[in-house]
Amino acid sequence: MRIRGIEALAGGQAGNSGETRADAGVATLDRRSFLKLTGLAGGGLALGVATLAQAQEGGKPKAPPPAPQAFLIIAPDNTVTVAVNRLEFGQGVHTALPMALAEELDADWRNVRAALAPAGDPYKDPGFGMQMTGGSTALNHSFQQYRELGARARAMLVAAAAQRWKVDPASCKVEQGVITSGSQRATFGELAPAAMELPVPQQVTLKDPAQFRIVGKPTPRLDARGKMEATTPFGIDTQLKGMVVAVVARPPRFGGKVKSFSADKARAVPGVRGVLQVPVDRGGSGVAVIASGYWPAKMGRDALEVQWEDTGSKVSSQALFETYAKLAGQQGTVARAGEGDIAAAIQRAPRKIEADFRFPYLAHAPMEPLNCTLQPEVAGGKVQSVKVWVGSQFQTVDQAAVARTLGLAPDKVVLNTMMAGGGFGRRAVPTSDYIVEAANVLKAWVAAGHTEPLKVVWSREDDIRGGYYRPLHLHRARIGLDAQGKVVGWQHTIVGQSILKGTPFEPFMVKNGVDATMTEGIVENDYDLPLQMSVHHPQVDVPVLWWRSVGNTHTAFVKETLADEMAAAAKQDPVAFRLARLDEKKHARHRAALQLAVDKSGYGKRKLPRGHAWGVAVHESFSTVVAYVVDVSVVKGEPRVHRVTAGVHANRVVNPLSAEAQIQGACVFGLAMTRPGFAIEIENGAVKNSNFSDFPPPRITDAPVVDVFFVPSQDNPTGLGEPGVPPIAPAVANALFALTGKRQRQLPFVMA
C-alpha cells in the first residue's frame, strides 16, 4: 500500500499501555512488561523521542520519558531492547530496525531484543505523522531515525564512561557493548544509570558505512525461533482471564441489514453466553454470538435463524466488466495529456495494437484471519477505558476509531500491537472496519450487563467474504506504430473504483479527479512514449482497498506485456527494446536491475530445454526496481515456472537474508494472480468464494526456484515488501506468448 498526507487520520493523542503475553525474543510493549524487561527500577538507560525533543530545545531532561515512549532500553544485565514502531507481519522489520540502531550503538547483537511498540505519539512514522505500516516505507522512513537513536545513546554512554574515569571522551572506544579507555573497562549495563542522567546530544556523527559490522550482513531474524516453536503470540492467540469469544453473522450483501432473527437454537448450544444484534460495516447490521470459546460461538452462529432485508449491493462482476468496457469508450478524466495530437497519430498509423485487459476483485486472505481483543474497564454500566490487542497496520487510526465508537477520549484506549500472520493491506483500513465492529460488539456486551474481556474472531470464510478487495479494473490500450514498428501514439484508459474517494486520504491523493493509486506504474511513462491517459472512477457498492503493491498489480502487467508486444512489432529483442528506451540517467536503476537479472539468468546466452521459453519484465514501485527473467514451460495446459532470476535495485540492503526472502515471497504471491480461480466473484451483491478451495493460493509445488541479486548501493533503503509482486505475472505472460503465440489479456490467465 502507498499512503501520503495521512496526518488527518490521527484523530487524537496516543494512549499508554496494556497487558499481553511475551517471550524472550519477541514482545509487545506495555508498561508492566516493559518495566520488567528494562530493569528501570534497578537503573537503566531509556531513550525516547520526548527526551530528544527536550535536548533539541537546549534543556536537560528532568526525568526519563515514560517507559512506553522509549525506543531503546539498556538494562543492567546488558540486554538492549529496541522498540519497533511498526507492525511485524512477515516482512522482517522486527530485525532490520534493531539492526540499524544496534549498528550505531555498537551493541553486542547477541544481547539485542525487539519489542512491538503500542500506539503512541513517539512511534509515529517520521514522514507520515502517524503510526502505521504500509507503502513499503518502514526502512525507507525509519532507517536514519533508528541510526540516530543508536548514535545518541552511544554518545551518552561514552560521556558517562568519560565522567567516571575522568578522561577525554575521544579516548573511549566502543565495541560489542563494552567501552574501554586504556585499561579501564565498563559494559553498557554498568554505565546505563549514569548515562540516563545526561542530556541527549543535539548532534551526533553517524558511522561511515564502510565501518558497518551489522547492517548489510545476513542476520537471522529475532522473531524466527519464537515463530518456529509456536511461542510467539499473534493477535489471535491473545488469552485473558474470563475472556469470551464472539463471531458475527454478517449480511450476505455489502450494506445489508437484519430483518429479524431467532436465537433460540443458538442459545441452546453449550457455552453460548449471549446473542446480540450489532452494527457492522457500511451501515449494515449483523448478529454477534458470544460464547466461552471460538467453537461454541461458531456453532451458535451456525444455529442462528436470520432473515435479511432485501437491501444492500446488487452488483455482479460480469456486469461490471461489461459496464466498464462501455465506459472505456467514453472520454474520461485526464491523467496524462501527452504531447501533440496523439489520437490523429494513431489514426494515421499503418499498424495498430488494440487491447482490453481485465483484472478481477482480489481478497487479501492473510493466513491469520482478522481478530481483535478488547478488555474494558466498566463503571456505571459504561466503558470507561479499554485495552486492545490487535495486529494493526494503522495503530493511530485504529486507536482513534475505537475511542470514537466507545465515546472515549483517545488516551483512554490502550492499543497493543501484536504480531500478525500477514495482512497485505487488509489490516490498514481507513474505516478501521473490523476493529470498529469489535468495539460495537463490546459496547453491546457491556450494555447487556457484562464486564468480561471479549475477542472477536473472523473465520476464513468471513475473511474472504468480508469485503475490502483489490478493485476490479479494465484497461483499454490503442497504440499506433509506423512501418518500422516505432510507436507514434498510445491512448490508454483505465476504469475502476477509487480506493481513496470518500476517505480522509482523498484531499491528498486524488488530484484533479484522478486516484493516483490507480495509474501508478504506467502514467510515469518509463519508456518515454507518446502516451495519453484517462480514467473513469465509477461508484460501485463493493468495499475496496489497497492490495499488496496497490495499482502496480495491474498497471505493471499491462505496461510490460505491451512492451513485449511493441518489441515484437519493431522486430527487436524484448530486453534490447527496453534498454533502448530507458534513459541512461533518469532510469539508471531500471537499467542496472534489468541487466543484472539478464546477466545472472544467462538470457540470450544459455539455451533452454525444448518446450521452455524466456520471459522478461521490469518495473519500479515504492522506489524499488525489480526485474525478472523467467524460465517457463507449459505442462498439461498450464504454465509451469521453473526458475526466476531477480535483479533488484533497492538501494542499501540492511538484512540480505530478509531482503532475499521478501523478493522470493512477493514473487510467489504475485504468481497467485495468474492461477485459475484466483478471482473474487461477486453475484447479486454477494461474494461466491468461501475459502482457499475456491480462491486458491500457490502451493509449495507451484513455487519456482527464485534467485535474487541486488544492485550494490550506498543510498538510503527503499521499499521491499511490495515491489517483488508486480513484474512476475507479465514476465510469465511474455514467456507464454513465446510458447503459444497467444497474448494474455487478463488475470488470472486463460490458457484455452
DSSP per position, 332-374: -EEEE--SS-HHHHHHH-SEEEEEEEEE-BB----SS--EEEE
Residue type, 705: V
Residue type, 506: E
Of residues 79, 52, 56, the one with CA closest to residue 65: 52
- What number is the average pLDDT over the span 268-274? 98
- What number is the average pLDDT over the span 627-638? 97
Q: Does pLDDT of 16 surpass 60?
A: no
Of residues 467, 463, 451, 442, the one with CA closest to residue 276: 442
Predicted confidence at residue 3, as pLDDT, reads: 31
Q: Does pLDDT of 676 surpass 50?
A: yes
Are residues 176 and 112 in contact, defined by beta-carbon separation less than 8 angstroms? no
Q: Compare 166 and 14 and report the one with higher pLDDT.
A: 166
Q: Find residue 245's DSSP bridge partners.
A: 291, 455
CA distance linking residue 423 with residue 390, whole number of Å: 12
Q: Does pLDDT of 385 surpass 50?
A: yes
Predicted confidence at residue 455, as pLDDT, reads: 98
Q: Compare 443 and 42 and report the one with higher pLDDT.
A: 443
CA distance linking residue 262 with residue 90, whole number of Å: 42
- What number is the average pLDDT over the span 685-713? 96
pLDDT band of 46, cuts 50, 70, 90: low
Q: Compare 129 and 415 and report the one with higher pLDDT.
A: 415
pLDDT band of 201, cuts 50, 70, 90: confident
Phi, psi dihedrals of residue 176, rounded to the nearest 5° = 55, 40
Predicted confidence at residue 311, as pLDDT, reads: 85
Q: Does pLDDT of 744 surpass 50?
A: yes
Residue that is written with C-alpha cell 441452546 in the block: 268
Q: Does pLDDT of 184 surpass 60?
A: yes
pLDDT band of 48, cuts 50, 70, 90: low
Are residues 515 and 500 in contact, defined by beta-carbon separation less than 8 angstroms? yes
Predicted confidence at residue 50, as pLDDT, reads: 34
CA distance linking residue 568 with residue 46, whole number of Å: 62
Of residues 405, 421, 371, 363, the one with CA closest to residue 546: 363
Predicted confidence at residue 236, as pLDDT, reads: 97
> Which range has the worst mean pLDDT, 17-31, 143-157, 163-177, 459-473?
17-31
Q: Does pLDDT of 463 surpass 80?
A: yes
Residues 566-580 have pLDDT tens digits of 999 999 999 999 999
Residues 479-489 have pLDDT tens digits of 999 999 999 99
- What number is the average pLDDT over the span 700-721? 96
> What is the overall mean pLDDT for the chain?
91
CA distances from 274 to 230, 289, 405, 705 (A): 32, 6, 21, 51
Of residues 656, 673, 672, 674, the one with CA closest to residue 720: 656
531-536 and 333-336 as β-strands: parallel, antiparallel, unpaired?
antiparallel
Predicted confidence at residue 563, as pLDDT, reads: 98
Predicted confidence at residue 503, as pLDDT, reads: 84
Q: Count of CB atoms within 10 A of residue 505's CB? A: 21
Residues 51-65 have pLDDT tens digits of 333 322 333 333 333
Predicted confidence at residue 36, as pLDDT, reads: 38
Predicted confidence at residue 560, as pLDDT, reads: 98
Q: Find residue 27's DSSP bridge partners.
A: 22, 115
User: Could you give the 3-state DSSP secondary structure of residue 12?
Assistant: coil
pLDDT band of 312, cuts 50, 70, 90: confident
pLDDT band of 29, cuts 50, 70, 90: very low
Q: Does pLDDT of 643 surpass 70?
A: yes
Q: Dig out the grid coordinates for 114 from the structure.
A: 525487539
Q: Does pLDDT of 5 surpass 60?
A: no
- pTM here is 0.92
Q: Does pLDDT of 1 surpass 70?
A: no
DSSP of 600-614 = HHTTTTSPPPTTEEE
**Structural domains of the chain sorted by starting position, each given as residue range(s) with its CATH number in brackets:** 22-228 (3.30.365.10), 235-311+365-465 (3.30.365.10), 562-752 (3.30.365.10)
- What number is the average pLDDT over the span 464-473? 96
Q: Compare 40 and 194 and report the one with higher pLDDT.
A: 194
